[in-house]
Structure 1
């Protein structure tokens, strides 16, 4: 199976030109979520390369309909309807004119209008496939219908369909929908800003704020605590912490409507005094929280987690990680070198892994150094955006070739 796009077009004065690029995403900062953050860094770094980038997303209360970002423009469109993080934005049909590339961050039920615009205007569509959507009940039935109809047509209409890892591409629910269109499948990992997320010492004011003592060992979890991110495994983390000594403390950074449920679970386990729910933290302050911790945990339970940007952020700060052994996520961690992998949903195994790392300062230090080096080599945005730019030019050079088999 071939799942890697290898761009051949080099950036030279002979074939390079500034492109007008539309980035389409259901969520975008200040909403905290991996998909929006990837779109943000895509847009910022492409702007630095000289491209004209426009981000299209939904409106957020208190934010202007249009604003200038760091080298790009943000357009917030009013949704016709919205279910969770899935807005239908009819304005896309009007707005997506005159672009060289349309880049859709998917899943985005409602974002299929981007694909329709690409077809109508003869523009190459590039899709970043971030993760499967796994729902239950009525919403699960609706999601399955949409995935096999409009979703299937959208994915198959892409000039390039980028998964964050070949591992996830193999196991994703999207894979069967692409039969006969395997040639469009590629790989482009997410990245991390290695100039912001850097190693450093814990801030004394944060240690004092959260009443953390020198003898404490701190495990950090960073996640949105809303229903769309139910799969983050917060309760698994809490169950694991309940099995560990009282000197082990847990910090949970994030906010959402599920926070009260998690706080109640911590209270029922009798560990409320050992778990601090920090709430939402700005992107500027977030590196300080990684540096405050001894390890970072990503205990996600379903393929709704396809990569885990928090793992990269933690490793970039020199902090080793523990993650679940699932497609995509496991590609970010080298077990024994910069972290450990555990079985999804197994709180006992997770507690044992936490104890293994928290009891060995030498092991954590070695893992932290190796993790930082690996992130610098493979996951810095500068090199990844260069790859994305080449993919764009490859898609443009292939435009107008045989596009049968889309249906």
Structure 2
């Protein structure tokens, strides 16, 4: 099968959507398919061969945040058997829609709602109810990371009458790579963590596109906790100076370590070092939480906001805790309980590792995605064989 994946972002940019696209493409290539990823040129080679698939980075005519307009996308999609759009992708949706009007089957992964404010919210609403609606309704399958999120998403009304196209495909994790293991010597010291300290870790893009990650909520919770509980915040972006200033203002400079960007290997070591991973997101811009399955794969328990989609990843009181969004006191109390109970953390970590290996390994996700493509192609062939009225 010749498959095109389209994503507004892609590694080396650190973000969940691009990471999912990468692993989808890798698993499909491993299963013998010819895969090309189309994304925006952004400080990386314009063409790249990696892990058995090809990446083509197209020049953006204009860019608003993580939404590039790629005029060369339309001709590039000729000759594919399947087009898979990672959505939202404002600008990419219209061009993808134009391409699939040529009778190429379309599958969409709907990653999350986009929640903005001011004039940008008005523009997003207009795009969602016009081009976005048309693109979603043109897809043979719209894959949400959970059916729970699909029911709560503002995209659901746009699919009224097309509910049969809705399916579920969770994000995943490489359970061979992300696994329990030894913490490298000196890592705790480099993070400003003493031998008796407890570490809660947050992994997020610290840019405007990921404003909803709840960094301020974690800092507010930390302010209420004993001094031996510290935070390591992994990630970078234009909001990092603001968060660093907030930590300073709250008197937390000695208890919060901003680790910056981390490679995959460095991130794995940090998960292993942490006593828990915290995802205190505040809006439905968070639909799943890749960091949760990565952490659990390493045997590290999690604390996350009780949001649609996210709550399907965490088994409350079994491998982690769910807390109300934007509630610093509840988050602080939950972190305190987990930090103070070594056996609870170990048992949560063991159960989380088993669950992730059973449900979220990328190999299983790739197999399910291939089966979805096969069904879509079969349906497409049957529909094409039916004589059209008036033909």
**TM-score of the aligned structures, taking structure 2 as reference length:** 0.97
* C-alpha distance in structure 1 between counterparts of 2:265 and 2:55, whole Å: 20
Asked if the contact 2:192–2:257 (Cα under 8 Å) also holds between the matched residues in 1, the reply is no
Confirm or deny that 1:243 pairs with 2:216: no
State the match for 2:162 in structure 1: 181
1:67 and 2:41 are equivalent in the alignment: no
Counterpart-to-counterpart distance in 1, 2:98 and 2:360:
32
- The alignment status of 1:263 with 2:244, answered yes or no, reads yes
Pick from 248, 255, 260: which aligns with 1:274? 255
Q: Note the C-alpha offset of 1:214.
A: 1.3
The answer for the alignment partner of 1:371 in structure 2 is: 352
Q: State the partner residue of 2:101.
A: 119
Q: Which runs of 4+ in 1 moved over 2 A?
A: 400-404
What is the CA deviation profile of residues 32-54 of structure 1, one whole-angstrom value per residue up to 9, with x for unaligned ones?
00000000000111111110000
Is 1:142 matched up with 2:123? Answer: yes
Residue in 2 aligned with 1:14? none
Q: State the match for 2:66 in structure 1.
A: 85
Query: After superposition, what is the alpha-carbon deviation per residue over 1:38-79, rounded to whole angstroms, capped at 9, x for unaligned?
Result: 000001111111100000000012x22111111100000001
Match of 2:77 in 1: 96
Counterpart contact for 2:140–2:165, Cα < 8 Å? yes
**What is the deviation of 1:227?**
0.1
Tell me the alpha carbon deviations over residues 285-324 of structure 1, each in whole angstroms, 9 at most, x when there is no partner. Answer: 2100101100000000000000000000000000000000
Instruction: Find 2:338's aligned residue among 328, 337, 357.
Output: 357
- Secondary structure (helix, strand or coil) at the match of 1:284 reads helix
What secondary structure does 2:338 align onto?
A: helix
1:162 pairs with 2:143: yes
Distance 1:358 1:352 in 2: 10
Distance 2:266 2:125 in 1: 39
Asked if residue 220 in structure 1 is aligned to residue 201 in structure 2, the reply is yes
Greater Cα shift, 373-382 or 198-207? 198-207
Q: 2:209 aligns to what SS in structure 1? A: helix
- Distance in 1 separating the partners of 2:191 and 2:92: 42
Structure 1 equivalent of residue 22 of structure 2: 40
Deviation at 1:187, TM superposition (A): 0.3
1:333 maps to what in 2? Answer: 314
Paired with 2:353 and 2:368, the residues of 1 have a C-alpha distance of 21
**Structure 2 unaligned blocks of 5 or more:** none
Q: Give CA deviations for 1:77-111 in whole Å, capped at 9, x if unaligned.
A: 00111100001111111100111110000000011
Q: Which has the higher contact order (CA 8 A, sep 6+)?
A: 1
Query: Is the counterpart of residue 392 in structure 1 residue 368 in structure 2?
Result: no
Distance 1:110 1:100 in 2: 22
1:323 equivalent to 2:304? Answer yes
The answer to whether the 8 A contact 2:26-2:53 is kept is yes
Count of paired positions: 384
Tell me the SS of whatever aligns to 2:254: helix
Shift of 1:210: 2.1
Residue in structure 2 matched with residue 16 of structure 1 by the alignment? none
Deviation at 1:211, TM superposition (A): 3.1
Q: In the aligned structure 2, how far is the partner of 1:185 from the partner of 1:152?
A: 14
Contiguous gaps of at least 5 residues in structure 1: 1-18
Aligned mates of 2:337, 2:382 — CA distance in 1: 55
* Cα deviation code 1:100-138 (max 9, x no counterpart): 110000000011111220122x11100000000000100
CA RMSD of aligned residues (A): 1.1
1:285 partner SS: helix
Normalising by structure 1, we get a TM-score of: 0.93
The more displaced of 192-201 and 20-29 is 192-201
Structure 2 partner of 1:106? 87
